[in-house]
């Protein structure tokens, strides 16, 4: 059994599409499937991550709608007859989906917002809490895998499935993680807000994603701080930092699902319309506190909100409890079983 993943990553689009595909790819590989990534990613850290997993990686120089994209992808599919394809990215339209299915391959489209007028796929995966409210128009028969039971997590989170979080009266360990790229450096805005807090014994970890190019600016801002501040780049063990944290500040990308699974009370700001849609569902479920768009707030306003959460142990307890109710960490298993269902006599290893 072979699974071909088509997803890109860049400083402009972020790394979320590629990283959640990595999570599903890990599960597929762990259960005996061969994995190939076809990607326009040019980030050496991410590419090395894929290679270190033992995946076959095929680079695309110019992503769709450039016609060379499909030429490369089609060549890979011809070498893998019968492979499932997982397609993840807002720039892939119905025409691209039609091309994959016309090549004789079954297709799973990873989606967030039903942004296409029509989908041409065998399966749609949308792990957002709002997914059930969307109207998907599909060509022919299509299975819908919708909602929080399909949240796919990387292998590093497996050991935390039975882990229990303790909620302190005052949050002292603060995690800042705004996704893989954070092109406009809102991380710096959050860090400057934390530096304004007149608190003692506060520990701060700032995790910068592989496409984040602002390390030196943030390093300069925290030099000489009275707080214990640690900057972390390119980590493959972010689950450990999420377990350590009493409170997290994040954006609305794929990281929020990881924080929710880890039952980490989280303050979220949005960076895109898709994030706003996703975060609205989390906020309505009582999982996170969303203050709106990062561009609408300055460091002092963010600091005030964070300080309230640091002392509000009841909110943090409620947030943590609600998260544990909704996320069980078995999303990859459920998605993989649907792929297996379409592969005849295949049995997991």
Domain count for the chain, please give it.
2
162-207 confidence digits (pLDDT tens): 999 999 999 999 999 998 889 899 999 999 999 999 888 899 999 9
54-70 confidence digits (pLDDT tens): 999 999 999 999 999 99
The pLDDT value given to residue 348 = 33
Q: The domain that contains 39 carries what CATH number?
A: 3.40.50.11190
233-247 confidence digits (pLDDT tens): 988 889 999 999 999
201 Rama class: left (phi>0) / alpha (psi -120 to 50) / beta: left
205-225 confidence digits (pLDDT tens): 999 989 899 999 999 999 988
Among 163, 119, 165, residue whose Cα is nearest residue 141: 119
Q: Which domain holds residue 88?
A: 2-152+329-341
The pLDDT value given to residue 341 = 85
Q: Are residues 321 and 333 located together in one domain of the fold?
A: no
Q: Are residues 137 and 221 located together in one domain of the fold?
A: no
Q: Are residues 259 and 336 located together in one domain of the fold?
A: no
Q: Are residues 174 and 135 located together in one domain of the fold?
A: no
Q: Are residues 49 and 24 located together in one domain of the fold?
A: yes
The pLDDT value given to residue 86 = 98
Q: Is residue 268 part of a domain?
A: yes
Q: Is residue 348 part of a domain?
A: no
For the cut 90, the answer to whether the pLDDT of residue 343 exceeds it is no
The pLDDT value given to residue 133 = 94
Most confident by average pLDDT, 154-163, 221-230, 273-282: 154-163
95-138 confidence digits (pLDDT tens): 999 999 999 999 999 999 999 999 999 999 999 999 999 999 99
Q: Are residues 129 and 180 located together in one domain of the fold?
A: no
Q: Are residues 193 and 212 located together in one domain of the fold?
A: yes
CB 180 within 8 A of CB 19: yes
Q: Is residue 172 part of a domain?
A: yes
Q: Name, in order, each residue with C-beta under 8 angstroms of 65's C-beta and a sequence gap of 6 or more.
A: 91, 93
The pLDDT value given to residue 194 = 95
The pLDDT value given to residue 349 = 31
């Amino acid at each position: 059994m072979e699974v071909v993943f088509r997803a890109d990553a860049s400083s402009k689009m972020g790394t979320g599409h590629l990283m959640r595909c990595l999570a599903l790819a890990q599960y597929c590989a762990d259960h005996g499937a061969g994995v190939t990534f076809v990607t326009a990613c040019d980030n050496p850290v991410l590419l090395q991550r894929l290679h270190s997993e033992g995946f076959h990686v095929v680079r695309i120089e110019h992503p769709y709608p450039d016609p060379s994209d499909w030429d490369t992808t089609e060549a890979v599919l011809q070498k893998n007859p019968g492979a499932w394809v997982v397609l993840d990215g807002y720039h892939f339209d119905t025409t691209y989906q039609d091309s994959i299915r016309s090549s004789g391959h079954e297709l799973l489209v990873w989606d967030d917002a039903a942004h296409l007028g029509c989908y041409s796929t065998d399966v749609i995966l949308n792990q957002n809490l709002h997914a059930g409210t969307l109207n998907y128009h599909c060509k022919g028969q299509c299975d819908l895998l919708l909602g929080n039971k399909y949240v796919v997590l990387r292998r590093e989170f497996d050991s935390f499935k039975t882990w229990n979080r303790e909620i302190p009266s005052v949050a002292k360990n603060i995690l800042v993680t705004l996704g893989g790229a954070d092109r406009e450096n809102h991380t710096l805005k959050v860090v400057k807000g934390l530096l304004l807090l007149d608190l003692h014994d506060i520990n701060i970890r700032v995790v910068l994603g592989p496409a984040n190019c602002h390390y030196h600016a943030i390093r300069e801002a925290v030099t000489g701080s009275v707080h214990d501040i640690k900057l972390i780049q390119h980590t493959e063990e972010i689950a450990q930092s999420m377990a350590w944290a009493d409170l997290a500040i994040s954006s609305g990308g794929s990281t929020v699902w990881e924080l929710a699974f880890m039952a980490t009370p989280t303050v979220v700001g949005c960076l895109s319309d898709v994030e706003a849609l996703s975060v609205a569902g989390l906020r309505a479920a009582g999982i996170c506190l969303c203050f709106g768009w990062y561009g609408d707030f300055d460091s002092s306003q963010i600091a005030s909100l964070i300080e309230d959460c640091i002392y509000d142990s009841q909110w943090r307890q409620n947030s943590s409890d609600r998260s544990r109710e909704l996320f069980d960490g078995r999303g990859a298993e459920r998605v993989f079983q649907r792929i297996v269902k379409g592969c005849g006599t295949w049995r997991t290893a």
